[in-house]
Amino acid sequence: MTAFAWADEPAPRTLECHQGTVRPAFSPDGKTVATAGDDQTIKLWVVETGRVRRSLTGHEAMVWQAAYAPDGKTLAAIAGKRVFLWDPATGKQVRVLQGHTNDIKAVAFSPDGKTLASGDIDETIRFWDPTTEELKRMLKFERTGKLWEGVWSLAFAPDGKTVAVGSGNGNGSDGQVRVVDPATGTVLHTFPGPKGQAIWSVAFSPDGKTLASGSFFGTITFRDRETWKVVREWKAEGTLRSLAFSPDGKTLAADIDRDIKVWDTSTGQLRRTLTGHSNWVIYIAFSPDGKTLASGSSDQTVKLWPLN
């Protein structure tokens, strides 16, 4: 896939149908964007028309995040202490994964779709078989500070052999990046956040060679996956909550306060600052074809930014 070029003045489409903070997730075919809301619902939007195709209800708690399985046939939603699995084609609830003793804040499918990882604010990660509800294994890591250290982000490497975990406490400190073997639940590496900052987001590059992590106060760290050494570090001005690589790996986007910053990964050059949200941007996601960037905010909207 070739690198995209930003339009001169990208005008986003705004999706408004929630109360509270909204977090987006694209389907693998890019035709649907799911929006998880504090209002305990998920909306499934047709990207081409910007219309709601279906609403998923019954979570009984704010929906913190949604994630599609690689084949697009299952949508996982975390709400409170449970993981809800939906069939997005029919809108039917397939099963509910239960066992967490505290609120879940991160969820991710393995590349082959055979494992689903969920992490909560009680330093615990659970690995599930999403087709049977079987709990494959559980990992509770040691707290590094005096306060609780919640799991805020999970990302499988493209080969599925490792999972990156971003953690920290509610004050933005005691942050760690952990690299975990999902087959055994073993912590392979642990790296402290910059100046102890909480790690709000982790992401592997599409080629699997680089792990990026974003700290609460805007430091983005890149590690080489072979050596796990820091190869570069960027410092943005503001609070970071989410980052994402473009599908071709040539661009990295991160939300900083109410804006989205977009960098060239090869040069570190800031390519664009996207503005338009009236409150904090909380979560961002690229569409699978790289033609759209979605941003979810506490202003109760998701914006779909067109890329050329």
* Domain-wise residue ranges, the chain: 99-291
Asked if pLDDT for residue 241 goes beyond 80, the answer is yes
Q: Report the share of the chain in percent with pLDDT over 90.
A: 90
* pLDDT, tens only, 202-237: 999 999 999 999 999 999 999 999 999 999 999 998
* pLDDT, tens only, 181-193: 999 999 999 999 9
Looking at residues 147-166, what average pLDDT do you find?
95
The CATH code that applies to domain 99-291 is 2.130.10.10
Q: For residue 237, what pLDDT is reported?
A: 86
- List phi, psi (to 5°) of 40: 75, 15
Q: For residue 308, what pLDDT is reported?
A: 67
Model's pTM, two decimal places? 0.94
Q: Are 187 and 227 in contact (CB under 8 A)?
A: no
Q: Which of 277, 208, 266, 209 is nearest to 242 (CA)?
A: 277
Asked if pLDDT for residue 8 goes beyond 90, the answer is no
